[in-house]
Amino acid sequence: MSYYERHIFFCLNARDGGQDACANHGAQAGFDHCKSRVKAAGQAGPGRIRVNKAGCLDRCAGGPVAVVYPEAVWYTYVDAADIDDIVDSHLLRGEVVERLRLPPTVGR
């Protein structure tokens, strides 16, 4: 058994010189909303769900991005409603949100 049932990492990377990065696309707001929703559901902590900040996850072209483990499912999102779908479906019920999956060909 893993220390956390599920672990979601949000890329919050910002780049110098005006280069595009997840931080330019509302990544912090997505992270904050997810953390709040998981906590409100009483699912934060060991044996449950961990919401973490991450540096560059090297998939900038799909930004903002997040990845859920142990399933290693990569997501892109645009607003709080998308984060709600990830929390309600994947983090709480284990059901992947196909419409938000980041295609495997999307990289930097």
What residue segments make up the domains of the chain, in order of their start? 6-100
**CATH architecture of residue range(s) 6-100:** 3-Layer(aba) Sandwich (3.40)
Comparing CA positions, the residue from 98, 99, 100, 90 lying closest to residue 7 is 90
Beta pairing partners, 10 = 53, 66
Q: pLDDT of the chain along its 108 residues, tens only?
A: 689 999 999 999 998 887 889 999 999 999 999 999 999 999 999 999 999 999 999 998 888 999 999 999 999 999 999 999 999 999 999 999 999 999 999 887
- Return the amino acid letter for 108: R
For residue 32, count CB atoms less than 10 angstroms from its CB and return exposed for 0-12, middle for 13-18, buried for 19 or more: middle
- Please state the φ and ψ torsions of residue 53, each to the nearest 5 degrees: -80, 150
**Predicted TM-score (pTM) above 0.75:** yes
